């Protein structure tokens, strides 16, 4: 289970574990976007609860990947490796940010070290899901090796996916 930390609008972080913190470690990630897995099951109580909190930031540390996410603006920063062991956390975080944020979802990949084909598929599937709503998944700081992988797989021009070499703009 990933280490999940939610930072609410009222949490000052002065007292970790106080009443202002939200403990979500007992919850499971939502189902994978369409095209990533077989038939999906109905969301259970834990999955429903996963979608019912209000926070400004979501931070997840699992395996060799760390994700920091915000909902407004909808943005993720990925640090580390994306492989099969972290896919549920990545897919769940992308879905959560897309569901609660407005507009395009931006992903900062400046600290991404490696990604396997499952990770690429998760990003492309998320872009497709956003595209159905007229939104995009915008990947920032796309390294040349990652661009090469996307070109080889034919996913560089996937619907809803935009690739940018530079960092996420501030402000």
Enter the tokens of residue 21: 């913190």
Q: Specify the pLDDT at position 167.
A: 78
Tell me the per-residue pLDDT of 34-49, one tens digit each, with 9 for 90 and over: 433 333 333 333 333 3
Q: Which of 110, 118, 50 is nearest to 84 (CA)?
A: 118
Distances (CA, A) of 119 to 78, 91, 111: 12, 9, 15
Tell me the per-residue pLDDT of 71-94, one tens digit each, with 9 for 90 and over: 999 999 999 999 999 999 999 999
Q: Sketch out the chain's domains with CATH numbers.
A: 3-9+20-25+52-163 (3.30.750.24)
Rounded-to-integer distance, Cα 138 and Cα 160, Å: 8
């Amino acid at each position: 289970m990933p280490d999940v930390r939610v930072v609410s609008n009222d949490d000052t972080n002065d007292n970790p574990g106080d009443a202002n913190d939200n403990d979500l470690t007992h919850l499971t990630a939502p189902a994978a976007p369409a095209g990533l897995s077989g038939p999906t099951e109905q969301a259970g109580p834990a999955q429903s609860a996963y979608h019912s909190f209000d926070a400004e930031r979501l931070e997840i540390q699992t395996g060799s990947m760390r994700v920091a996410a915000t909902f407004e603006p909808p943005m993720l920063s990925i640090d580390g490796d994306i492989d099969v062991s972290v896919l549920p956390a990545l897919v769940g975080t992308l879905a959560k940010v897309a569901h609660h944020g407005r507009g395009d979802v931006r992903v900062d990949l400046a600290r991404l070290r490696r990604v396997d084909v499952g990770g690429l598929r998760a990003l492309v599937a998320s872009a497709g899901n956003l595209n159905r709503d007229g939104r995009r998944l915008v990947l920032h700081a796309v390294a040349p090796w990652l661009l090469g992988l996307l070109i080889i797989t034919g996913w560089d021009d996937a619907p809803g996916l935009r690739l940018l070499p530079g960092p996420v703009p501030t402000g």
